[in-house]
Amino acid sequence: MQSDSAPSPQHFWRQEAAFKALAEAKDRGRLARSYLFTGPTGAGKWAAAQWLAKVLLCEQAEAGNRPCLICSACRRIDQGTHLDWHALLPLPKVTAEDDRVAFLKAKAADPFAVVSFAKKPNLAIDWVRDLLAELSKTSVEGGAKVSVIASADQMTLDGQTVLLKSIEEPPLDTYFILTSSDPARILPTVRSRCQTIRFAPVDPGAIASRLIEMELTDPEDAALIAQLCGGGWGQAVRLADEKLKAWRQTVSSLWNEAFMGSPGSLIAEIDRSFSKNRAFDEVVQAFDVWGLLLRRDCADSVTDHERPNAASGMPVLDMDTAWACWRILQNGRATLYVNVMPRSAVKGTFLALRRRLGCQ
């Protein structure tokens, strides 16, 4: 594939700059040994990592024609069964093996798919050590060895430190591809030793149009999804699921009523909505929906500052109060990734919002 050809829709969608950078490096024989793909969830970082793995492991004899996408090596990379392709990804420890199988199956069907787990996933340091032990061995099929580390920002600092030495001095014919939607959580020393390829957020209008064209949802919900997905097509497809549409309506109703009733009624509603079996990623999505609703209410305050916001019971917001509420929401969202029960994080966030807004 030449660098001036159109990106393969199987691996890239509206990521022309990322494709051009990788394709030109391939054509010049100057691929880096370590890459960091950054961008929104579902923007195609995994799909691009698979494309690059195929470039490196494809059985096509002529380098300029790689990846062929049809040889045994290319197909086995898609299925996650190539013996010199190694994937490390965050998984819930208790169900790690089953979830790994489900993740690879979903990615084989659609490399843009965003796969969620019922429990909070993590990237254990032991898994990092196991990966590096495998990469230190001789290539099974006599060529390169490729490691894809998905959501690398979820590694602990100790895990990143362990990885750092191998990135600094990679084993023979070994390539690392890290992906991240939050690269600020990756150690600067790790980032500096990787070539960064940025995947830009896709325009919401393009996402909404494609959702409607593919008949994945109705126009009204497509517009909301296009704002919620953060510019990632895979995330947009996941959010189009009917169950998640119903969940968005639930958390939207909670926001619209949270500042009108008593604290007791709010807590009771949170207890009903955020049961113990609520999936971790659904709680994260709830915070994202509330962030959009806060922006909506801020806009309402600007256009009509003489009355409470029409869409919810939130009082009129000045700029300082709006920023304070935004920080409360983001801090609440961040606590989901530490040892805080999701329901407790939601309660603490809304009670803090009420205090800041002077709700009785």
Percent over 90 (pLDDT), the chain: 66
| CATH number corresponding to 16-198 | 3.40.50.300
pLDDT of residue 107: 93
> Half-sphere exposure of 162 toward its Cβ, with a 13 Å CA cutoff?
17
DSSP 269-284: HHHHHS-TT--HHHHH
- What does the pLDDT look like over 195-252, one tens digit per residue? 999 999 999 999 999 999 999 999 988 998 898 888 999 999 988 988 888 898 899 9
Range scoring the smallest mean pLDDT among 77-81, 135-139, 257-261, 298-302: 298-302
- As a whole number of Å, the CA-based R_g of the chain is 22
pLDDT of residue 302: 55
Query: Does residue 308 surpass a pLDDT of 80?
Result: no
Over the chain, what is the mean pLDDT?
89
Residues in the chain, total: 360
Q: Is 170 in contact with 193 (CB distance < 8 Å)?
A: no
pLDDT of residue 8: 55
Query: Does residue 35 surpass a pLDDT of 90?
Result: yes
pLDDT of residue 306: 47
Q: Is 37 in contact with 177 (CB distance < 8 Å)?
A: yes
Percent over 70 (pLDDT), the chain: 93
Query: Does residue 150 surpass a pLDDT of 90?
Result: yes
pLDDT of residue 300: 63
* 201 secondary structure, DSSP code: P
pLDDT of residue 25: 95
pTM over 0.85: no
199: CB partners within 8 A, 6+ apart: 15, 18, 37, 38, 39, 40, 43, 44, 45, 48
pLDDT of residue 33: 97
| Cβ atoms within 10 Å, residue 25 | 18
- Per DSSP, helices labelled H in the chain are 16-27, 45-57, 72-79, 96-109, 125-135, 157-168, 188-192, 204-213, 219-228, 233-239, 242-257, 263-273, 280-303, 319-335, 342-357
**67: helix, coil or strand?**
coil
pLDDT of residue 311: 53
- Assign 312 a pLDDT band (cuts: 50, 70, 90): low
pLDDT of residue 79: 92
Q: Is 208 in contact with 223 (CB distance < 8 Å)?
A: yes
Q: Is 157 in contact with 186 (CB distance < 8 Å)?
A: no
Average the pLDDT over 333-339 and give the result: 84
CA distance 252 to 97: 35
pLDDT of residue 228: 82
pLDDT of residue 116: 81
Query: Does residue 307 surpass a pLDDT of 60?
Result: no
Tokens (6 digits) for 271 = 């207890």
Q: Which residue has the tokens 């030109």?
A: 24
Query: Does residue 263 surpass a pLDDT of 80?
Result: yes
DSSP 70-136: SSHHHHHHHHT--TTEEEE--B-STTHHHHHHHHHHHHHH-TTPPP--SS--BB-HHHHHHHHHHHT
Range scoring the smallest mean pLDDT among 20-34, 42-56, 202-216, 235-249: 235-249
pLDDT of residue 46: 96
Query: Does residue 305 surpass a pLDDT of 70?
Result: no
pLDDT of residue 158: 94
Average the pLDDT over 76-94 and give the result: 93
CA distance 333 to 311: 23
Q: At what angle do helices 263-273 and 342-357 cross, to 10 degrees?
A: 150
107: CB partners within 8 A, 6+ apart: 46, 50, 80, 113, 115
Handedness of CA 344, 350, 355, 356 (dihedral sign): positive
- Assign 11 a pLDDT band (cuts: 50, 70, 90): confident
